[in-house]
A and B are shown apart, each in its own frame.
Chain A
Amino acid sequence: MLQQLFRSPMALLCMGIIFITALLGIFAPWVAPNDPYANDILNKFAGPSWQYPLGTDQLGRCVFSRMLFGIRPTLFLSLLTMLGTIGIGVVMGITAGYFRGTVDEIIMRVVDVMLSFPSQIIILAVVALLGVDIRNVVLASIFIKWAWYARMIRTATIKYTSMNFVLFSRSIGSGNFFILTRHMLPCIAAELAVLASLDTGWAILNISTLSFLGLGVQAPTPEWGAMLNEAKNVMVSNPEQMIVPGLAVVVLVGACNMLGDCLRDALDPKAVRQ
């Protein structure tokens, strides 16, 4: 399964991009050439140089250093969001899909209610209610997104519940917990991996969007969406300011989405050996 994944060049490329980005984010204080908060107002909008590899912004801060420090909120908060949504979604989805009946009805009606709100609007509403803070953005994202997961996972679970191997397992008296963890989870793992990597992409975009709107990470903390927002103000005079954070978001989200595709191929057991 993993061998198959490592054999695909696209998967390697995507995992490489995400892995290196994560490493750069973790070791940002040692990698960054400058302090991301240090102003050098005389050198504002400077071009690339040895001192500032990617130039400086409107306050003369090193763009490269800010990019590196910006990985932390962007990537790690989106991973946190993804784990949260997957955790709740899997538990709810499997419970609803496997036990059916009343439990299913209750969970799915809650899910219906959640899904009937447009996700961006409810995130804005939650942020407005709880205050402008990145923690509230993460909470709101988990709150709105788990329902979507629960529905997808419920469908996958129902598909496998009527399979003969689950029936056999029940007929010989294996416990529900055993069936759910040993049969169900591995079976829906393929769907789960795809959903997870796609969702990480979504979460990155979402956190960047809200920071861009000024509702997520607050200035002066470096964050890619917030950097784009600052660059937007000088869009006409210094358009190159938008390129670096914009490109970084596109590449990282693209890598997450492509990795989702590759994972789906690799987790299909029939495709393991052609």
Chain B
Amino acid sequence: MTNAAPISETDLHALVDDQLTPERAAEVEAWLAGRPDKAAEIANWRRQNEALDALFGPVASEAVPTRLDPHLMARSPARPRIAWTRLAAAAVVLLAIGGGIGWFGRSYTLPSSSDELITAAIEAHALYVREKRHAVEVAASDRDHLVSWLSNRVERPITPPDLAADGFNLVGGRLLPGYEDATNGPAAQLMYENAAAERVTVFITAALDDRSSTYEFLTRKALDAFYWANDRITCTVVGDLPEDQMKAVARKVYQQLTWRPDGGGA
């Protein structure tokens, strides 16, 4: 080790992880030869590696179940994921009984209204986002009708936010039940899609009874939901975009639905 670079912690890790060139590995070994304490530590690290490999290594040689064959998965894109099946089944039940007890809320002693709304928004997203022909009830091409119909039913002026700057165009919308105890009436779901066929939904209801302002960003299963409420509306933006993109879109929706005293009314 006359003119070798000093030995760092990273070198020691790289030695046991086989990430050094043979020359450097030899230098590190030589360095260790004069340091029994350090050498004992490195020996223990190696045994850790062996133990981990013995514990889990064999899994990689097991036969792979067909449900994990990417070729089959790519060929049947409509096949629901396990998680989706669960969500969709829950959504069907919820819709059938008009909201019922939130599937996600089962572990809470008293699910809050906002929690019920977020649940409803996520389930509605999961249910309709996979649809191709029936993704929406009224298409964006019939925008005037869409706006007046949803605004009348939700009893709030609903102007679909413009998300074109983020690459998302309005597909259309549909009317949905809110949840069982909803005194705030039904919900409007607006669906957006980008060129990559990724979809984001915006779930809007009239304000909850308490009319409180609140906001929340949360993730359930693989879906992100951005929820906020003010004294006029509640809104939940749902999607599974990369986090930054999701937040940017949610922010746009928020800005457009809140800061428009004439149009948005929210």
Same complex: no
B residues at A contact (CB < 8 Å): none
